Structure 1
Amino acid sequence: MKEILRRPFAGPMLFFILVFCWTWAFWIPAAASGISAQTSLGRLLLVLGLLGPMLGGIGFTYATRTAGDWSDYWLRVFDVGRIPARWYAIILLFAPVLFTIAVLLDRPSGGSDAVAQISRTLTSFFSAPSTIAPFLLVTLINGPIPEELGWRGYALDHLQARLGAVAASIVLGALWAIWHLPLFFFEGMKHDVGIRSLWFWLFVLQTIPVTIIFTWIFNNTSRSTLGAILFHFMTNLTAELANRTDGTNLYSTALWILAAVAVVACQGVGTSIRGEHG
């Protein structure tokens, strides 16, 4: 890794600059012109913007690393065997359990809306099973695959080599939150609430502890990009179903923070997120 980091343009700064420029070149004009993400043009601009981290991760890997590193990049995406069974359980169940607790905490304060909305969504799926597969595919494409091929596939190794696991997670989480900024003005998006809303600030606050959990999983699954994709998918899927009210959003943010603090505290700040930097 040290040899890689000494190569020209191998560091993360240029990667982030180019990824932001690519993504925002599509998202900012869409938001500024009032194009809805529910239209064909809006969906196209959304997807093109999402490709930024993926194109950056693949491009920088091939531009700055050796043929052996190229092979490692794709192996980390497709090798299901590098993730231990208990980590598959963590990857697939962490977010559902967290959001279930958030919904249950919200109920005593009168937040029964979340349960009702979840029930309506599940009922609609069961009444039209043909909609389930497209919904899951869209959820997988709208974030997990294109983002993780860059954030965890490329950038995280470089940040950890320089900063250590926790600091790298804080930096990546902050940049990840900022990268989403145009979506809060993109008409037709769930994010379309502006920066003065509680949802915006909870999103920003939540992104850093979520990134710490990502890094914890990444380093304990032999740097598996596949694990990051699956965790991202389960987090987005569960949030789409369960994070429906101000109460669930507030509680889920608090739970993400508690989870991140627990990971760091239980294993020690210096070694809380272990793994190779390859």
Structure 2
Amino acid sequence: MKPLTESKSTSTNLKEILKSYPLTSFFVMAYLFSWTVLIPFILSQWNIIPKTKIFDVFFTLNAFVGPMVAAYIMIWTLEGKEAWKVFRKGIWKFKVGLKWYFFALIVIPTVIYLGFVIFNGGIPTFNGLTTQFYATYPIYLVIVFFGGGPFPEEIGWRGFALPRMQSKFGALKATLLLGILWAIWHLPHFLTAAQRGGPGSNISLLYYNLPIFIVLCLATSIILTWVFNSKQGNLFIVMLVHASLNMFGLIQPYLTNPALKETDLPVSLGLGLCALIILIFTNGNLGYKQSSPEVELGN
């Protein structure tokens, strides 16, 4: 058994590391926690352990125990318990204006649909979409918001990391770097059906699907950074935009053109056009205004 003084010394040293390298520490924890909890899900996908629905919970948990828990640890360590309480309450700021709800719920699906129109060379058709699906759309949206990634992920990516990265690198560089790091965080997903991987998949995942997915993450990051900066760091609307984007994944299987189901290229195309427009109209600064006074945020 280790002496109490040695345990305290180890804890103190760990805190000093976290404080000295907050961004590096956050991303290391986000990756480590998420990738570890995904192992049972990946093993079940490859039939190394029984493939049962119970292992699907580990896929949902990977966003919660990764970026969200990492953000919780870092905020608590850097600023204390009360800072986390303030941060948590700040998530639920619903008064963002109707135009932002319109952007999240109408514009985002529209630009994604435009990407499918362009990729398809005309209006795509759907098979099996019923009025029941549209009637239950709000319910699905809530489920995706909390369980599909937007809520736990954005606490970490845009809640903790982005403000510190923007202060260090500026808006555009921070956004592109975060987009790449976000894409890397998803790498284990390519071993599963979530990114068209798993048994029967081939090397095209790496030379075709992965580059397209990276472009998708970069375009999405530009859009989310602009929303975040435009609403003075409002995480709720960022999460809602993220959820609205993810919702198209529920509609994509109903497309009659098989080519539209097998790639993220149409989504990347639509969101890429939206991101390009944002870059042009914001002169590349994505609505960022340097906070004052300057805070030393570390690496």
1:171-186 equivalences under 5 Å are: 171-186=177-192
Deviation for aligned residue 1:153 = 1.3
State whether structure 2 residue 18 is matched by structure 1 residue 43. Answer: no
Corresponding residue for 2:67? 53
State whether structure 2 residue 284 is matched by structure 1 residue 261. Answer: no
> Secondary structure of the residue that 2:288 maps to in structure 1?
coil
Corresponding residue for 1:159? 165
Deviation for aligned residue 1:56 = 1.3
> Secondary structure of the residue that 1:234 maps to in structure 2?
helix
1:227 counterpart letter in structure 2: I
Segments of 5+ residues of structure 1 without an aligned counterpart are 1-5
Deviations 1:28-62 (A, max 9, x none): 45324525997333212212212111111222112
Corresponding residue for 2:226? 216
Deviation for aligned residue 1:259 = 2.1
Aligned CA RMSD, in angstroms, stands at: 3.0
Corresponding residue for 1:145? 151
State whether structure 2 residue 74 is matched by structure 1 residue 74. Answer: no
The percentage of counterpart residues that share the same residue type is 23
Deviations 1:190-249 (A, max 9, x none): 542566233332111211111011000000011011111101110000233147554473
Are residues 133 and 80 of structure 1, via their aligned partners in 2, closer, same or farther at CA, if it must alter by over 3 Å? closer
Segments of 5+ residues of structure 2 without an aligned counterpart are 1-16, 293-299
> Secondary structure of the residue that 2:194 maps to in structure 1?
coil
**Contact 2:229 2:286 survives alignment (8 Å):** no
> Secondary structure of the residue that 2:19 maps to in structure 1?
coil
In the alignment, the residues of structure 2 paired with residue 276 and residue 38 of structure 1 have an alpha-carbon distance, to the nearest angstrom, of 49
Corresponding residue for 2:24? 13
In the alignment, the residues of structure 1 paired with residue 138 and residue 50 of structure 2 have an alpha-carbon distance, to the nearest angstrom, of 21
Are residues 138 and 71 of structure 1, via their aligned partners in 2, closer, same or farther at CA, if it must alter by over 3 Å? closer
In the superposition, the TM-score normalised over structure 2's length comes to 0.76
**Contact 2:116 2:270 survives alignment (8 Å):** no
**Contact 1:10 1:60 survives alignment (8 Å):** no
Are residues 125 and 266 of structure 1, via their aligned partners in 2, closer, same or farther at CA, if it must alter by over 3 Å? closer
1:62 to 64, 73, 76: 76
**Contact 1:9 1:64 survives alignment (8 Å):** no
Corresponding residue for 2:129? 121
- Single out whichever of 87-96 and 158-167 deviates more from structure 2: 87-96
Are residues 38 and 105 of structure 1, via their aligned partners in 2, closer, same or farther at CA, if it must alter by over 3 Å? farther
- Single out whichever of 131-140 and 144-153 deviates more from structure 2: 131-140
In the superposition, the TM-score normalised over structure 1's length comes to 0.81
Q: Which protein has the larger Cα radius of gyration, Structure 1 or Structure 2?
A: 2
